[in-house]
Structure 1
Amino acid sequence: MGKRRLEDALKKIDHPIEVTYRCFELDPNKPRDVNKNIYESLAQKYGMSIEQAKANTQNMVKMAEESGLEYNMDTLIQTNTFDAHRLTMFAKKHGLMKEMTERILHAYFTESKHIGDHETLTELAVEVGLDSEAVANMLASDEMSDEVRADEQTAKQYNITGVPFYLINKKYALTGAQPTETFVQALQKVIAEDEIKVLNVEQDGVVCDDDGCEIPKK
């Protein structure tokens, strides 16, 4: 949802902006196969009832709908996401990280696919243009693990404890799935600060370079 709102904001800004996705695990210790549904997990984690967990989740589903997204939480399959992150980093090497990230998120939230399963991840990778055998071999090894860990270490250095988290120019930060207009305002502010404004429009001052200084002729 935060990703979609950022993308909507970028469409409203006439300025080149490069977006880089980073790896972050909310629960690195989660097993690949989880025998609880999302409501049971939330209830246990936050000490609430199943009914409260469902109500809170439904609010998120409604917010997602407003951004044009379909979240099917009743059938969502929880899993460890480390291998999914490895796949995104592998896709990054081939210039397909954006497409791979979008495909995995859609598979998880909308299609209720098991994104911890290697066969499922391989199928998703093929859909965005990656080679099936290369992906399967990567997943069967520990390839791209260091790249994922490096991103997670960077997150620790910035004291990032949750997602979504947006770091702009390594200087400004936004947290949470902010409204699209908040992203627009924040990005416009950063762009304005980065622009160099030439005040002496008539260029009648002394101009100096490596060859010396030139005094304008009157």
Structure 2
Amino acid sequence: MKIEVWSDFVCPFCYIGKRRLEQALEPFPHREDVEIVFRSFELDPNAPNETPLTIHEIIANKYGISLEEAKRANADIGRQAEAVGLTFRFDTMKPTNTFDAHRLAQYANEKGKLQDVVERLFYAYFTESKRISDRNVLLAIAEAAGLDRTEAEEVLASGRYTQEVRRDEEEAAALGVRGVPFFVLNRKYAISGAQPVEVFRRALEKVWEEEQSRPLQPLSTDQGGTCTDEGCSI
């Protein structure tokens, strides 16, 4: 079984959804036969590498809500993260552009290190409050994942893997992806949002048992959070 996941490294529900999928896979008897591939998706391709605004201020501006309301909304997301064993530090997060992070992930995929790099990128942003557009941060992540630092530096400096990122984003548009995370199982079923673990479990069982090819169709779209370029639903 192949699960493709469109996500962005600054999307809180993408990290939560990733962990919920992993928890659903733990008791799945065929988990060793499941391949997970992370696809590139930029929530805001025009985001600057650095901004004086906090994540609370950015959310307040996007939703047209007060700063206190934004903080409460982020606190709610933080509690959802805690429920799956994650720690989100909204007060010190460094909102940034994720294009180079996606290029690094594409390079890692080619080298067989995708899962490790993706996890480290999420952790660096949400838990360690690192700016994941910073070249040194990305190189440290690459090296920690077992990639050659010099080669990774050449990749980031050269603009390589730009086409791969754009291809993933074009495919997302063709599939009608409006928000992330967006999961596609065996090109038969789609799950939108960070759905509950049980939703992922049912999907895994259904797709595994499925023998006939069917068009892409949603299994669930109304219970999990998603992020769009307008912000993240609560």
One fold, TM greater than 0.5? yes
Structure 1 runs (4+) greater than 4 angstroms displaced = none
CA deviation digits over 1:51-106, x for unaligned, max 9?
11111110100000000000001000010000000000001111000100000000
SS of the residue 1:6 aligns to: helix
**1:160-171 to 2 correspondence within 5 Å?**
160-171=177-188
**1:141-152 to 2 correspondence within 5 Å?**
141-152=158-169
Q: Distance in 1 between matches of 2:153 and 2:86?
A: 29
- Counterpart position of 1:194: 211
Q: Distance in 2 between matches of 1:85 and 1:194?
A: 34
Aligned pair 1:172/2:189, yes or no?
yes
Match of 1:110 among 127, 130, 135: 127
- Counterpart position of 2:146: 129
SS of the residue 1:115 aligns to: coil
Q: Which structure 2 segments of 5+ residues have no match?
A: 1-15, 213-234
Q: Distance in 2 between matches of 1:158 and 1:8?
A: 26
SS of the residue 1:160 aligns to: coil
Greater RCO, CA 8 A, separation 6+: 2
SS of the residue 1:22 aligns to: strand
Q: What amino acid does structure 2 have at the position aligned with 1:86?
A: R
Q: Which structure 1 segments of 5+ residues have no match?
A: 196-218
**1:43-122 to 2 correspondence within 5 Å?**
43-122=60-139
Structure with more strand by fraction: 2
State the structure with more CA Rg: 1
Return the offset for 1:171: 1.8
**Paired positions, count:** 195
Q: What amino acid does structure 1 have at the position aligned with 2:118?
A: T
Length-normalised TM-score, structure 2 = 0.82
Q: Distance in 2 between matches of 1:129 and 1:184?
A: 31
Q: What amino acid does structure 1 have at the position aligned with 2:37?
A: T
Return the offset for 1:167: 0.7
Name the Cα RMSD after superposition. 0.9
Q: Distance in 2 between matches of 1:67 and 1:194?
A: 32
Aligned pair 1:11/2:30, yes or no?
no
- Counterpart position of 1:199: none
